[in-house]
A = this chain, B = another copy of it.
């Protein structure tokens, strides 16, 4: 589906029943309770950016579903229970034989280096239920995790074909981490190939630098276009964002007034933006909702926070 910023463009998705279908990882975030891991104690949390987006979209007033694979173990149960408690649909959660994926983060005053434990998330499958959901989805969003392994990447590629055939808008989070990839694979090349196959990407400056090396935001955006992606939202932290529609760039200031915790701010943006797009708002308005959702989230601690209906966000912003 073609998205453009021009002339108050509103996207239409006739007869589709799912606003956002997110495909990717759900996992245990195992976070040290102390800085620099003095006492070796950890707390397990629900994690996974695609699921956070789905939770947010539901809270903002949309209808979203998550498709992910968990292990047939206590962590898989823990994650599924969490989704249920958040009143999320779990019909697309696949239970597989590998251990539930986990990320260990030793909190550090410096840069915390996560330790990745991949397992179940690699084993996501294109089930009949997922195929049906792909036909019903207005937006199909996927993350970099399933791309980083041949097996799950093939599932994603098939899913994208189905999504395209069904007229969905396809969005990709190009969050490249070298350590997620096997040495035998050229992760950067594969990420670039994926960027060329989707409608929208939202790289941060860090994401772009990891993929292309250091450069100006404008040049990084143009590199994404050259790969074949028409619509690029580049976030610049407190400097706001640049939205580029096939090279035509618009600059946005941040809407944040207070920053308590940046965790999940990017996912909050995606969520607001997706809500706007799928609820019949213009692309410009959807971008505004994205920035407002992100600014709202920055006031609170945690990857996912309570959110008002997106219309309430807009009303408060207009005052």
Enumerate chain A interface residues (CB-CB to B < 8 A). 30, 33, 37, 40-45, 71, 73-75, 78, 97, 99-100, 102, 104, 106, 113, 115-117, 119, 183
CB distance from A100 to the nearest CB of B (A): 7
Assess the B115–A100 pair: CB atoms within 8 A.
yes
Q: Which of B40, B104, B115 contacts A45 (CB 8 A)?
A: B40
Using CB atoms, name the residue of chain B closest to A42.
Answer: B42
What residues of chain B lie closer than 8 Å to A45, measured between beta carbons? Answer: 40
The 9 sampled A-B contact pairs (Cβ below 8 Å) are A40-B43, A40-B45, A42-B44, A73-B115, A74-B106, A75-B115, A97-B183, A99-B117, A102-B104
What residues of chain B lie closer than 8 Å to A99, measured between beta carbons? Answer: 115-117
How many copies of this chain does the complex contain? 2
CB distance from A83 to the nearest CB of B (A): 15
A104 to B73, CA, bound (A): 11
Interface centre among A37, A100, A102, A117 (most CB of B within 10 A): A117
What residues of chain B lie closer than 8 Å to A115, measured between beta carbons? Answer: 71, 73-75, 99-100
Interface centre among A37, A40, A106 (most CB of B within 10 A): A40
